[in-house]
Homo-oligomer: A and B are copies of this chain.
Amino acid sequence: MSCILRLSQSLRARGYRVTPQRLAILEALHHEGHLSPAQVYERVRQTGMTEATVYRTLEFLRANNILFAAQREGGHLTYELAGASHHHLICRTCGAQVDLEAEALQRLIACLEQQSGYRLDASHLTLFGLCPNCQACNEIRDPEPRDTRDQVS
């Protein structure tokens, strides 16, 4: 509540307008985790808002650092209210998600910034891989990753 009010003021201060559409979307994302544009639309369609507006608004709010965007596998976008910086590890096989404190990467990011001269906005990264469970499954399924080095065709 107070949170959304503060965001409204911040928007107006930058010359943007606070519309019922933007408020509805912020409300929908309030306390929910990551939502896809379609999921956001579900939660606000009652207001009569268009899908196009959902896409535009999400991108607008992200560009203004009010939302974090994250890429699910395959590149589909997902949004959440921007808050404490954090990152995600997602299992490519079962989809399990783990959150990472930002500081886990902080040092590295700083290091990269110094090396490259870039100022990175890496406050919300997503890395893909295999969770411990799925690693175990794979080992069982592929008992001995056969040696194919010197195989002659």
Contacts and interface: CB of A to CB of B under 8 A. Distances in A.
A89 B128 CA distance: 18
Contacts of A113: 129
Interface in A95-153: 98, 100, 104-105, 108, 112-113, 115-122, 125, 127-132, 135, 148, 153
B135 A129 contact: no
Given A9-B153, A127-B112, A148-B13, A89 B77 contact: no
Chain A: interface residue count, which band? 35 or more
Tally of this chain's copies: 2
Given A71-B75, A148-B13, A130 B118 contact: yes
Interface residues of chain A: helix, strand, loop or mixed (majority): mixed
Between A89, A98, A128, the greatest number of chain B beta carbons within 10 A of the residue's beta carbon is seen for: A89
Contact of A121 (B108, B119, B128): B128
Contacts of A131: 117-118
9 contacts: A59-B74, A71-B71, A71-B75, A89-B116, A118-B127, A119-B129, A119-B130, A122-B129, A125-B127
